[in-house]
Amino acid sequence: MNELERRAEYEYLEEVRELLKTRVAQLERQVSGHESDIEESGYKMWDEITHVIRDFDDVAALTLYDADIARQDDNYRNALLELRNMLSLYRIPYFGRLDFVSDRDGFLEKVYVGAHSFFDRETFEPYVYDWRTPIASMYYDCSVGPAAFKSPDGVERGKVTLKRRYKIRDGKMQLLYDADSSLHDDVLGEALSENTQAKLKVIIESIQQEQNRAIRDEAAGDFVIFGAAGSGKTSVGLHRFAYLLYRNRERLKAQNFEILSRNGIFASYIADILPELGEEDAHCTLFDDIIAAVLPKEQRFEEYYPQAEYVLSAAPDDLRMRGIQVKGSTEFLQYISAYFRDFVFRMPEIGYEDTVLCTAEDFARRCNDMKRERPFDVVLSHAREFARTILEDYFDLHKDEIIRDIFHSDSELFEEEYEEEFIRRRRDTVQNVLRQIDEVNGLSVRPLYLHILAGYCRDHGGQGVAEDTREALQQTVIRYEDAVCLSYIGALLGKFRPNLLVRQLLIDEAQDYHALQHALLKLYYPYATFTILADPRQSVFPGLGLRTREELLALYPGCHSTSLDRSYRSTAPICALAARLAGSAVIDSFDRDGMLPQVLSGRPAAEQVRALFAGDALRDCQTIGVITSTAARARALHAAAGIDAALTDDPDQALQSGAVVLPAALSKGLEFDAVIADCSDIRDPHMLYLLCTRALHRLYLVFDGEIPQELRDCGELWESMETGDIS
Question: In 10 A of CB 10, how many CB atoms?
Answer: 11
Strand, coil or helix: 714 = coil
The SS3 assignment for 727 reads coil
Per-residue burial over 593-603, b if 16 or more Cβ lie within 10 Å, else e, is ebebbbbbbeb
Nearest CA-CA partner of 514 in 537, 549, 546, 490: 546
CATH of domain 572-725: 3.40.50.300
Give the separation between CA 383 and CA 437, rounded to whole angstroms.
8
Q: What does the radius of gyration of the chain's CA atoms come to, in whole angstroms?
A: 31
Residue 725, pLDDT > 70, answer: no
Residues 110, 9: contact at Cβ < 8 Å? no
Tell me what pLDDT residue 724 has: 52
**More confident: 495 or 35:** 495
Q: At what angle do helices 287-294 and 480-492 cross, to 10 degrees?
A: 50
| Segment among 7-11, 74-78, 196-200, 339-343 with least mean pLDDT | 196-200
Strand, coil or helix: 567: strand
**63 falls in which pLDDT band (50, 70, 90)?**
low
Amino acid at 215: I
Distances (CA, A) of 624 to 4, 195, 591, 616: 46, 10, 23, 13
Find the largest Cα–Cα distance for the chain.
Answer: 102
Is the pLDDT score of 45 beyond 60? no
More confident residue, 406 or 677: 677
d(CA 486, CA 50): 51
| DSSP structure string for 409-472 | H-TTS-GGGHHHHHHHHHHHHHHHHHHHHHHHHT--HHHHHHHHHHHHHHHH--TTHHHHHHHH
Average pLDDT, the chain: 90
Predicted local distance difference test score (pLDDT) of residue 588 = 80
**Range 498-505 average pLDDT:** 97
Helices and strands in the chain: count of H runs, count of E runs: 27, 26
Instruction: Give 646-711 as a DSSP string.
Output: EE---TTSPPPSSEEEEEHHHHTT--EEEEEEE-TT---HHHHHHHHTTEEEEEEEE-SSPPPHHH
Residue 52 has pLDDT above 60, yes or no: no
pLDDT band per the 50, 70, 90 thresholds, residue 545: confident
pLDDT over 70 (residue 59): no
Cα–Cα distance between 56 and 59 in angstroms, integer? 5
Q: Is the dihedral of CA 515, 516, 522, 524 positive or negative?
A: negative
C-beta of residue 603 within 8 angstroms of C-beta of residue 723: yes
DSSP 339-351: HHHS-------EE
Give pLDDT, residue 66. 66
pLDDT value of residue 539? 87
Determine which helix (DSSP H) or strand (DSSP E) holds 33, and give its type and residue range.
helix 3-48
Integer Cα distance of 659 and 269 in angstroms: 15
Averaged pLDDT for residues 424-450 = 96
pLDDT (tens digit per residue) in 159-174: 999 999 999 999 999 9
Per-residue pLDDT, 401? 92
CA distance 494 to 442: 14
For residues 721 and 699, is the Cβ–Cβ distance under 8 A?
A: no
Residue 57 has pLDDT above 90, yes or no: no
Give the rounded percent of residues in the chain with a pLDDT score beyond 70.
91
**pLDDT bracket for residue 429 (50, 70, 90):** very high
Reported as a pLDDT band with limits 50, 70 and 90, residue 208 is very high
Is the CB of residue 342 less than 8 Å from the CB of residue 330?
no
The secondary structure of residue 512, as a DSSP letter, is G
Alpha carbons 448 and 339: distance in angstroms, whole number: 11
Q: What is the pLDDT of residue 106?
A: 93
Q: Are 65 and 58 contacting, i.e. CB atoms less than 8 angstroms apart?
A: no
pLDDT of residue 184: 57
pLDDT > 70? residue 318: yes
Per-residue pLDDT band for 463 (boundaries 50, 70, 90) equals confident
**What is the rounded distance in angstroms from the CA atom of residue 168 to the CA atom of residue 177?**
12
**Residue 193: what pLDDT?**
60
The pLDDT of 216-235, averaged and rounded, is 94
3-state secondary structure 101-148: EECCCCCEEEEEEECCCEECCCCCCEEEEECCCCCCHHHHHCCCEEEE
Least confident of 29-38, 454-463, 466-475, 584-593: 584-593
Name the residue ranges covered by the structural domains of the chain: 3-91, 350-443, 572-725
* Cβ density class 122-148: b for 16+ within 10 Å, e for less: eeeebbbbbbbbebbbbbbbbeeeebb
Q: What are phi and psi of 659, to 5 degrees?
A: -95, 140
Q: What is the pLDDT of residue 58?
A: 61
Q: What is the pLDDT of residue 60?
A: 64
Task: Return d(Cα 617, Cα 2) in angstroms, integer.
Answer: 44
Task: Read off the pLDDT of each residue in 658-670 and give the average, rounded to a whole number.
Answer: 94
* Nearest-5° Cα angle at 466, 496 to 300: 40
> Helix, strand, coil: what percent of the chain each, to 5?
50, 15, 35
Q: Which of 513, 720, 547 is nearest to 532 (CA)?
A: 513
Reply yes or no on whether the pLDDT at 702 is more than 70. yes
Give the Å distances, CA to CA, from 698 to 7, 38, 620, 671: 41, 54, 11, 11
- Each residue of 64-108: pLDDT tens digit? 666 666 777 778 888 898 999 999 999 999 999 999 999 999 999
pLDDT, position 703: 95
Could you tell me which of 445, 477, 480 has the C-alpha nearest to residue 323? 480
Distance CA 442, CA 677 (A): 51
| pLDDT category of residue 541 using cuts at 50, 70 and 90 | confident
Most confident of 465-474, 567-576, 652-661: 465-474
- What is the tens place of the pLDDT at every residue in 368-419? 999 999 999 999 999 999 999 999 999 999 999 988 888 877 667 677 778 8
Distance between the two ends of the chain, CA-based, in angstroms? 47
What mean pLDDT do residues 581-599 have?
Answer: 82
Query: Which segments within 216-320 are labelled E, that is strand?
Result: 223-227, 257-261, 283-286, 300-301
Work out the number of other CB atoms within 10 angstroms of the CB of residue 6.
Answer: 12
Q: Mean pLDDT over residues 432-436, rounded?
A: 97
Calculate ∠ Cα 420-423-424, nearest 5°.
Answer: 85
- Collapse the DSSP code of 183 into the 3-class scheme (helix H, G, I; strand E, B; otherwise coil) and give the result: helix
